[in-house]
């Protein structure tokens, strides 16, 4: 085998076979970084005017409930999220397919949905996997029933890499 071929083969092995791809999953963070304290106060879909306001307060506080009503961490939140919250208020746009197959939410969630959500508050992993998508600032975890999106939990995302 020529040196060139050997180099190419080695490179391919490193890229494909040798390095195991890690399984991707999303974790539910501590109470102050999420939109619910308990499962019982999870946001219902479609969003009502009241739950929409609750979400906006959370976003304006930068995803930290300690700051709600005390200071505005993200002044752009309403402008950024209002169209998405409008969509989440429309029952016609809340099928599971809207999130996983159709392009309904592509303006906000461009990356592939993740179906493994680890929530240590639960007794066991879910039978039916929720759908987690991210806009980089938050993880939006959608719970569905009979292929309709019925509940929503939003969790402040941890940046994959800290800025230096």
Partner 1 sequence: MHDRLLAALQSVARVRLVASLRDERLGFANAKDMRIFIPDVHLISERRRIQGAFRYSTNHTDLLTSVILALNQMRSGAADDEAIEIYQLGDFLDLWREADGADNQVDVASPIKDDHEDLVTALMDRKLRTRFLLGNHDFDLYRWPDYTAWERRYYLPDAADAAPSVVLLHGDIFDWVESLPDAVQNVFVYLFAPNVAATDHRLGEMINLIRQSHGDRKYRTYIQAQQPSTIGTVRESVADEVPARWNVQMPGSAPAQNLLYLDSAYECCKRANEQYQMNLRVAVIGHTHHARIAVRETDDGNLFTLIDCGAWIENCIADGETSASPNAQIAALSGNEARIYQLEPA
- Pick between residue 83 and residue 126 the one whose CB is nearest to partner 1: 126
- Pick between residue 100 and residue 104 the one whose CB is nearest to partner 1: 100
Task: Report the DSSP pairing between strands 117-118 and 26-27.
Answer: parallel
Q: Confirm or reject binding of residue 128 to partner 1 (CB under 8 A).
A: yes
- Pick between residue 24 and residue 107 the one whose CB is nearest to partner 1: 24
Contact of 152 with 142, CB cutoff 8 Å: yes
Q: Confirm or reject binding of residue 40 to partner 1 (CB under 8 A).
A: no
Q: Confirm or reject binding of residue 25 to partner 1 (CB under 8 A).
A: yes
- Select the residue interacting with partner 1 from 28, 108, 113, 133 (CB under 8 A): 113
- Select the residue interacting with partner 1 from 96, 141, 152, 153 (CB under 8 A): 96
Q: Contact residues for partner 1 (CB under 8 A)?
A: 21, 23-25, 96, 100, 113-116, 118, 123-129, 144-147
């Amino acid at each position: 085998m020529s040196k060139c071929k050997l180099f190419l083969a080695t490179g391919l092995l490193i890229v494909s076979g040798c390095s195991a791809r890690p399984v991707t999953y999303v974790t539910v963070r501590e109470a102050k970084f999420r939109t619910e304290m308990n499962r019982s106060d999870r946001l219902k879909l479609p969003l009502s005017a009241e739950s929409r306001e609750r979400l906006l307060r959370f976003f304006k506080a930068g995803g930290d409930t300690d700051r709600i009503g005390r200071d505005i961490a993200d002044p752009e939140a309403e402008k950024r999220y209002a169209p998405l919250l409008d969509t989440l208020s429309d029952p016609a746009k809340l099928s599971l397919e809207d999130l996983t197959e159709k392009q309904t939410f592509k303006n906000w969630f461009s990356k592939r949905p993740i179906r493994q959500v680890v929530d240590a508050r639960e007794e066991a992993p879910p039978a039916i996997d929720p759908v987690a998508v991210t806009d980089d600032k938050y993880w939006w975890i959608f719970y569905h029933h009979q292929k309709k999106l019925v509940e929503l939990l939003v969790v402040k995302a941890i940046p994959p890499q800290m800025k230096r």
